[in-house]
A and B are shown apart, each in its own frame.
Chain A
């Protein structure tokens, strides 16, 4: 098969997406085949988002898809240890799991082992109970065209399932490595199922080893946090010039569960879109969504979040903070939907931004839809520069302008970094922030 027989990727997306599915290895069992078939039809029906699509008003995704002549890449080539180490977090005692283009590299990983812990390739677990029950069941995924594209055409990803009453004793660090020789569109697909009374800390980060070819990842992660389970989930988006990303996380929570989500977007990746949806399918849950984005050059960072309060007595708290340098462009959407049944909901949301670049810019939109009457909801937005007073105070003590700015950015991000419960990760992030500001 020579490449000129294949339609260019973008053209295939818009004209004949079925042709693409021939390039994707089929996964057992047959039920999955049907799900993928349906997703493909759904994608064809939805089409790619345009600026008229409500959820994509401030992000021209087509522009980024057309930016390079991508090819759909479903395979992985081995990656040297040094490339993986780029994502290492110093002093972090963890289980490290290496995925290359979504494919598990067991020999380069230290998988958590123990009774009740299942960790492996998605392709090898399509008959696992958690997979059968939960895979692609969230309706949020069915309505998002890029998620349907992932469902239809993903090659592999990571499957994690914790049986009831299991605790993983150390953080799990998933290193997503993306490699390609030509510009590639890569679609990992993951599912993490935390059954009753389980606890886990999972850190995701991504690296794209120095290369002239651009990798565009369209990844989807589904997580299930069952009754009384607790998940600490950190996503560290390390900046790489030759990387683009649409990162979709769809979480569902059940009674008395707790979900703590942290998203860190660091500079240099020209385009990042994070879709985060949390469906509260149970009562008495707690959800903390924390985001910190620091963007430079003409970086475009779009955080699109959706708190779906379906059941009563749930508490959600969302705090996203942005530091926009140069002519970076930020987008934040915070949708909160409180269903009629979801009485006694507490839902708070805050988005604060430091606009430090002369052409930096933020579009922030809270979207609150409340159909219950006994609820407490609030939202807030700020965008501003450093306080002149504070800058003068620091400088009057001999601290140069750049160091003063670094201190102020650290201070600005403090309430997010402080909430990171893994000390090595917290320290790593603080060092990263300081380095970014000192350059």
Chain B
């Protein structure tokens, strides 16, 4: 089972290592990890996508709470959360293909953020499956480079 886990931590040196090492030590594979500060610059939020069974997850959450620098941990319920991933795709393009690429970007809610003589960079911020869908559509144009951030997510409503 895939889980999206939010870990709110104090911004102390080594905290990223402490958290990520705990996942590997307890047999959980991290698929993606995104870290950034929250509204409070001394506090960061780590959004971790990981897979493993429920019992291991429960154990990991409890172990995370034991880390002194960890303030809060929650397993984000998929249906009640807004999830986003950011991707940038550099694709080979000439004048002919550019219009087609613009169309694809439009229908996918992506945008072209850079145009060079022989390539364009398309940016998308969306749910994971939409990002993957765009990637599939772009494959036939020869992807030169692709970069994806880890997922970030927030629960809907006023719940924290």
A, B from the same assembly: no
B positions within 8 Å CB-CB of A: none
A positions within 8 Å CB-CB of B: none
